[in-house]
Structure 1
Amino acid sequence: MGSREFKADILLLLTALIWGLAFVAQRLGMDHVGPFTFNGVRFLLGAGALLPLALRSAGQSHPSDFLRSGRGGFFNLWGGLLAGSVLFAGATLQQVGLVYTTAGKAGFITGLYVVIVPMIGMIFRQKATVGDWLGAVAAAVGLYFLSVTEDLTMSFGDVLELVGAVFWAGHVCLIGWLSPRMRATQLACGQYAVCGLLSLATAFFTETVTVQGLSGALYPILYGGLLSVGLAYTLQVVAQRDAKPAHAAILLSLEAVFAALAGWLLLDESMGSRGLFGCTLMMGGMLASQLWPKGTKALEAA
């Protein structure tokens, strides 16, 4: 492994760690503010952190400049609106779900989007691999052991996280379609701004937004906005220029593991043996879905 690949792997591991710890920050933040307020402020912070990079990539100096650039401006505007709206749905379901479930469970259930993406691709006549099917079955069985109780019920929070995973998968597919038509930093900045504005607008109608609440949630919001949204996204983009796809798949999937560990260490959460068995199956399913068969070839070349 070359030094650039090693550095890329370290950055991806750091990205997964930041995202995993974000589930704890999201839970702690809601001790002071509502889920829409939390998401609104943190995504606008993330958009602000990425704005200089977005402007630099476009060679412009004002936020409105790249909205007036012909066909490219069209995709910047409508691409950001579309991606931001889907992101808003996924982020809302995740954040509200965290009111009713643990950070660890939320991390693993959200991670199911990597299994759902190939299933969505089948709608557009993209062929699913054996690994996709194995991953889907393993993830479904794992979800049963993690979230479904012995009397065959599932908590409201876990249901929200599961529906949210579908939107996260749709968001991944949408980004895959928009990315060739837009610069990455512009797309990211635009979608975060739209998601933040939609969240804050909803918060003003459904929640009580106070300076005291925002002050109490300051550190979780700063973590969620500047680190989880702004820094981690940048690290991912930089790292994946040099990282092998198989390495990236494995390392980014560790987000769920870090979420579970952080919930256990910082929030005193526990899953029990049944939940841990479910998590193991889900992690296996996620990896199978991402690494089969291309990951096998990449690993052989490592």
Structure 2
Amino acid sequence: MKLKNAILLLLTAAIWGVAFVAQSVGMDYIGPLTFNCVRSLMGGAALLPLIWFLNKNQDSSRVIAGNRKVLITGGICCGVALCLASNVQQFGIQYTTVGKAGFITACYIIIVPILGLFLKKKCSPVIIASVFLSVIGLYLLCMSKDVMEVNRGDLLMLICALLFAIHILVIDFFAPVVGGMKMSCIQLFVSGILSGIAMLIWETPNISQILIAWMPLLYAGILSCGVAYTLQIVGQRGMNPAIASLILSLESCISVLAGWAILGQRLSLKEIFGCILMFAAIILAQIPVGQKSREKAADG
């Protein structure tokens, strides 16, 4: 089960990593609030026929009757966190470099286990070592020597990392007891509606510009939102949130690889080494460490 969950989260990271290209292109035509509004609503709408099909072909009374309030509450909480994180990220990218944005955002791999300690989530030495290794890998992958100053965009990305860490922990709380696809659908509609309200206040949406950006919106909406966030919820079910955040942080690594494969951007030796460290950290995090704990429990 954990291997299956890890594969789902890795697929999520891959979709998000490639989505960076779509997000960059989409921002050439529409504002960040408009982009997030349309993509979130598009992703939520794409899940509706799938949910209807599943409800029609299997008994969903357990989720609907027993956990309806939990499902709605979880979807709203996840949607608010997602809305804040994604929009802060879009605004922050405008004021900092892509490399620094990727590094600072991925700092949620540090924030998740730290916040988890306050929620009485155990963090093994292996996971701590994996986080440390991932941070080094992300630094080599995303940071350059000539852009070390801190600006407004960097601070926004740090807030974004905190919000994404909260989003991961909220999913970890609700995912074991509700339907993953349904909660994903609710969170996307909540995020889209909230982004839409902000869009009408601070931006001037243009239908023709939205139509021009149909291709990046389609990828970001259907795959990055509809598919990937559902895979995240399903993949996180029963998995340590610290390990989940490590796997999801591969988004930064995959985005660099996507830039090389799709846009022809070349990787330096430093960046390649950073990718290797990232993958090594993920493999290290999968090493079972519960045997000693089980032996102590047996002795007690």
TM-score (norm 1): 0.74
Question: Which of the numbers 19, 22, 37 marks the counterpart of 2:19?
Answer: 22
Cα distance between partner residues in 1 of 2:287 and 2:114? 14
Alpha-carbon shift at residue 220 of structure 1 (Å): 0.5
Whether 1:182 and 2:178 are equivalent positions in the alignment is yes
Unaligned segments of structure 1, at least 5 residues: 61-65, 242-246, 297-302
Q: Which residue of 1 is the match for residue 39 of structure 2?
A: 42
What per-residue deviation string (whole Å, max 9, x for no partner) do you get for residues 206-247 of structure 1?
112001210121111111001212233456678899xxxxx9
Q: Which moved more, 1:144-153 or 1:188-197?
A: 144-153
Amino acid at match of 1:52: P
Given that 2:32 and 2:87 are in contact with CA atoms closer than 8 Å, whether structure 1 keeps it comes out as yes
Deviation at 1:42, TM superposition (A): 0.3
Go from structure 1 to structure 2 and tell me whether the alpha carbon gap of 1:16 and 1:162 turns closer, same or farther (over 3 Å shift).
same
Distance in 2 (CA, whole Å) between partners of 1:199 and 1:269 is: 32
Matching residue of 1:300:
none
1:257 and 1:212 map into 2 onto residues whose CA distance is: 34
- Partners of 1:8 and 1:125 in 2: CA distance: 22
Relative to structure 2, which stretch is displaced further, 134-143 or 34-43?
134-143
Partner of 2:286: 291
Residue of structure 2 aligned with 1:130, choices 112, 122, 125: 125
CA contact (8 A) 1:148 1:154 kept: no
SS at match of 1:137: helix
TM alignment of 1:80-91, pairs within 5 A: 80-91=75-86
Q: Is the 8 A contact 2:40 2:191 kept in 1?
A: yes
Structure 2 partner of 1:166: 162
Whole-angstrom distance in 1 between the partners of 2:49 and 2:168 = 24
Aligned residue runs from structure 1 range 188-203, under 5 A: 188-203=184-199
Distance 1:7 1:79 in 2: 23
Partner Cα separation in structure 1 for residue 70 and residue 223 of structure 2: 27
Of 71, 75, 95, the match for 1:76: 71
Which of 193, 201, 206 is matched with 1:205 structurally? 201
Structure-1 separation of matches of 2:290 and 2:18? 27
Q: Given residue 186 of structure 2, which amino acid in structure 1 is its aligned partner?
A: G
Task: Measure, in 2, the Cα distance between the counterparts of 1:153 and 1:250.
Answer: 26
1:43 Cα deviation from its structure 2 partner: 0.6
**Could you tell me which of 44, 49, 52 is aligned with 1:52?**
49
Distance 2:244 2:169 in 1: 18
The equivalent residue for 2:114 is 119
- Structure 2: tracts of 5 or more residues without a match: 238-242, 292-300
Contact kept, 8 Å, 2:184 with 2:226, in 1: the verdict is: no
Map Cα deviations across residues 138-194 of structure 1 (whole Å, 9 max, x no partner).
Answer: 444556554475685135444433321221111111111112332111111111100
Cα distance in 2, alignment partners of residues 6 and 285 from structure 1: 15
Amino acid at match of 1:130: P
For residues 294 and 6 of structure 1, the distance between their equivalents in structure 2, rounded to whole angstroms, comes to 15
Q: Deviations over 1:277-296 (max 9, x none)?
A: 666556655655x4354599
Q: Distance in 2 between matches of 1:86 and 1:30?
A: 22
Asked whether the 8 Å contact 2:47–2:181 carries over to 1, the reply is yes
Indicate if the aligned counterparts of 1:112 and 1:282 stay in contact, CA closer than 8 A: no
Cα distance in structure 2, aligned partners of 1:276 and 1:93:
29
Question: Where do residues 87-106 of structure 1 align in structure 2 (5 Å cutoff)?
Answer: 87-101=82-96, 106=101
Indicate conservation of the 8 Å contact 1:249/1:291, yes or no: no
Query: Is this contact kept in 2: 1:105–1:260, CA < 8 A?
Result: no
Letter in 1 for 2:173: W
1:275-290 correspondence runs (5 A): 284-285=280-281, 288=284, 290=285
TM-score (norm 2): 0.75
